[in-house]
Structure 1
Amino acid sequence: MTGRRDRVITVLQAGRAVAALSIVAYHAAIATRDYAQALPEAAFFAFERGAFGVDFFFVLSGFIILHAHRDDPAGAAAARAYAVKRLMRIYVPYWPVALAMIGLYLVLPQVSGSQRSWSLVTSLTLLPTGAPPALAAAWTLVHEMMFYALFLLSYFVRGFAWIVAAWVGLILAGIWLGLETSYAAPTWLSLFAPINAEFVAGMLAALAVRRASPAWAGPALVIGLAALVAFFALGTDPAGPARMGFGFAVAVLVAGAVWLERAGSLAAPGWMILLGDASYAIYLVHNPVASLGARIAGRFEALRPWPVSLALCILLGVGFGLAYHLAFERPALAFLRRRQARGRSLAQAPR
């Protein structure tokens, strides 16, 4: 791809930052409630909405994958490059955190407040086995990997749009049939979980941005915001299939924001871009760190009040995630990309 599409879309990075911070706040509220002091019901309800940050991530992922790879050539070579890029992006930051959690649970199983079971296979591979990974938040990565695998078909099948349409059809059929698809402990049936439709919503938003004029920015923002307000006003069950409505409302908002940036009317500030860059690292490390922070707060009277504990958990989750990004994730990925580029140069050099 060339031109404007090669540039970073700053509002997408800002969206990733918002999604990560929402999830951090949600898990910080749970940790504070469990280990320090219970939050007032209204406050906990508000922070609980942060769970929808996962849906936001799925929409952004669908948008970014289509935006970045829609113009890739067909065939095995491009498919291999896509697969290596996505696997490296997921596993390189993930494995150190996953191995740390596996080691912690093996040595100190009582650390898990719920004494929950977990799968070593899922923890290491992110394959759906019906049991959750050691890192609780990694259940979303299992869905992410399913989506990446499905998108891989676009390199070999001309009618990929029909495959996506069939996927949505099967998701809707599963809802109608009452198919049980666990989010936290994914199985292969989780490919048809309603939340996966949000990847499709993101891809549709990316297609709309590619094909329509930025003049649609205003209507998209109005429609998306109205749909979002309606979603929350209706008190939709966060665990039910109607959760897809949030994803599609956010997808319309994302399209509107990208159109505004394309028109030169909007850009994210640098600190949000940095947090967006670090959003995956924050997502990986925040929950164990927030849990530890809340346990510490629960032992000291000055830190026990829920606003103090909550703030401590959020700061620790974001701070450790940002440090992990700067100290490991970013340099490790940069090193591997340089190795890849050097390998390609050597392979193309005349002999």
Structure 2
Amino acid sequence: MTLTTGPERRPVLTVLQAGRAAAALAIVVYHSAIATRDFAGAIPESVFRILECGTFGVDFFFVLSGFIILHAHGGDPPGAAAARAYAWKRVTRIYVPYLPVALALIGLYLALPGLSARTREWSLLTSLTLVPTGAPPALAAAWTLEHEMMFYVLFLAFFLARRAFPALIALWVASILVGIGLGLETSYAAPSPLSILAPINAEFVAGMLAALAVPRLAGRLALPCLLAGLGGIAAFFGFAVDPAGPARMAFGTAVALCVAGAVRLEIDGRLGVPAWAILLGNASYAIYLVHNPLASLGARIAARVEPLRSWPASLALCIGLGVAAGLVYHLAWERPALAWLRRRVGPRREALSQ
């Protein structure tokens, strides 16, 4: 099976941005519920159980990441030059928005060690580099970025060993399944080098498979594919699957079906995305980076301001602060900083590669 599916995979797909927006909002809701529970008072258990489903926004992000990487680079030529260009794009895309937030939190935790609701250890090395050491980063949500970096490093084989890449990915998935069978402890929330075998990583592969499937998916099957994925998600929640268990991969598979169907519908001109969803999707990484500290701040404010002491008011404040701050961070730093790098560094890199 070829991994390059032609120019059809190159267009900007707004449905992916809408998916990123949905994933980010789900995670914001989840962490806002936790912050409200920790600082502003109890949330009814039945309501919290619904809100904590937002944790699966992480799975959505992983599937989308696998899809986007292959969509963006599947037509790139093999070789070291393309590998360097890919690595530069991924490194800048991750670290330029991440490091200011990480440094700010490191400074806060060093100055105010009891700032967190729960006293927890964190690794300075992991916080600065996203290298998986087994200790969490200062920014709690950054554990997902450690998995992203593992995947990005593995994807370098696409450029350096193109023919062997499908076998390498198959071996990766097989190793994950063997690890599940052996009961291997592969923490995903505090990654270590062994966490390359964490079941949640298989969702990157599900996303890549969805990207491969889209050009081969007949238009008449796009809507059934989307509906099958939605049915799989509903069944997953209906069976109340352990969110930390390997069955979580089933959720990622269902999401991959949704993504493949939705993308095919957009390519065929049968699905549109509103401008506000595209904006939120563009800002989704910034929202993801800043929302958790802002949710904590919002809940602390709500606990001290009489009109906001109810859990719905606290929850709304946390969500609003997280999304608004993420939009501001995207527009004020992430987007201009990355654009500046493309203008200043991009031409030099092209000259060096010639």
User: Within 5 A, what are the aligned runs for 1:119-138?
Assistant: 119-138=123-142
Contact 1:97 1:285 in 2 (8 A): yes
- The amino acid that maps onto 2:304 is R
For residue 306 of structure 2, give the secondary structure of its aligned residue in structure 1: coil
Q: Is 1:39 matched up with 2:43?
A: yes
Residue 72 (structure 1) aligns with: 76
Could you tell me how far apart the structure 1 residues matched to 2:120 and 2:230 are? 38
Could you tell me how far apart the structure 2 residues matched to 1:225 and 1:194 are? 21
Q: Which moved more, 1:321-330 or 1:332-341?
A: 332-341
Residue 177 (structure 1) aligns with: 182
Q: Tell me the C-alpha RMSD between the 2 structures.
A: 1.4
Deviations 1:98-134 (A, max 9, x none): 0000000000011011110000000000001010000
Residue 228 (structure 2) aligns with: 223
- The amino acid that maps onto 2:290 is V
Residue 151 (structure 2) aligns with: 147
Could you tell me how far apart the structure 2 residues matched to 1:229 and 1:124 are? 38
For residue 235 of structure 1, give the secondary structure of its aligned residue in structure 2: coil
Shift of 1:341: 3.2
- The amino acid that maps onto 1:238 is P
User: Within 5 A, what are the aligned runs for 1:1-351?
Assistant: 4-157=8-161, 158-344=163-349
Could you tell me how far apart the structure 2 residues matched to 1:134 and 1:174 are? 29
Normalised to the residue count of structure 2, the TM-score between the two structures is: 0.96
Normalised to the residue count of structure 1, the TM-score between the two structures is: 0.97
Shift of 1:309: 0.3
Shift of 1:168: 0.3
For residue 156 of structure 2, give the secondary structure of its aligned residue in structure 1: helix
Shift of 1:267: 1.5
Shift of 1:211: 2.6
- Give runs of ≥4 in structure 1 deviating > 6 Å: none
Q: Which moved more, 1:336-345 or 1:200-209?
A: 336-345
Could you tell me how far apart the structure 2 residues matched to 1:243 and 1:346 are? 45
Could you tell me how far apart the structure 2 residues matched to 1:341 and 1:124 are? 24
Q: How many residues align?
A: 349
Contact 2:291 2:322 in 1 (8 A): yes
Contact 1:214 1:262 in 2 (8 A): no
- The amino acid that maps onto 1:10 is T
- The amino acid that maps onto 2:276 is W
Contact 1:59 1:251 in 2 (8 A): yes
Shift of 1:321: 0.4
- The amino acid that maps onto 2:262 is A
Shift of 1:222: 2.3
Deviations 1:294-343 (A, max 9, x none): 01110112111000000000000000000000000000000000113332
- The amino acid that maps onto 2:27 is I
Could you tell me how far apart the structure 2 residues matched to 1:293 and 1:339 are? 38
- The amino acid that maps onto 1:322 is L
Deviations 1:63-107 (A, max 9, x none): 000111111111100000000000000000000000000000000
- The amino acid that maps onto 2:122 is W
Shift of 1:2: 8.1
Contact 2:81 2:353 in 1 (8 A): no
